[in-house]
Amino acid sequence: MDAKVLQTVCRQVYQKHPEVRGVTPKVKPQTSTTFLLIFESKATTANGQTIRHTIRAVVSAEGKITKLTSSR
């Protein structure tokens, strides 16, 4: 995946999910034209417990996000 395309996709994900801002995604190729980007972060609740937050984005080689899912 091209670095410029990756940077553009990251900017879009950071706008929708600011809790993963600054996280470098893991990039996994799915097919020859699509990639899976996984953003993972951790947050602490008011009572001190840790919550993992994962954002998964399926992206075309041109940089179009076709699917975006999140878990808390």
- Give residue-wise pLDDT tens across range 28-53: 999 999 999 999 999 888 999 999 99
Determine the Cα angle at 65 with ends 63 and 68, to 5°: 145
Predicted pLDDT at 63? 93
Predicted pLDDT at 2? 87
Mean pLDDT of 55-59: 97
Model confidence, pTM:
0.89
- State percent of the chain over pLDDT 70: 99
Among 53, 55, 33, 34, residue whose Cα is nearest residue 42:
53
Q: Taking 90 as the threshold, does the pLDDT of residue 72 lie above it?
A: no
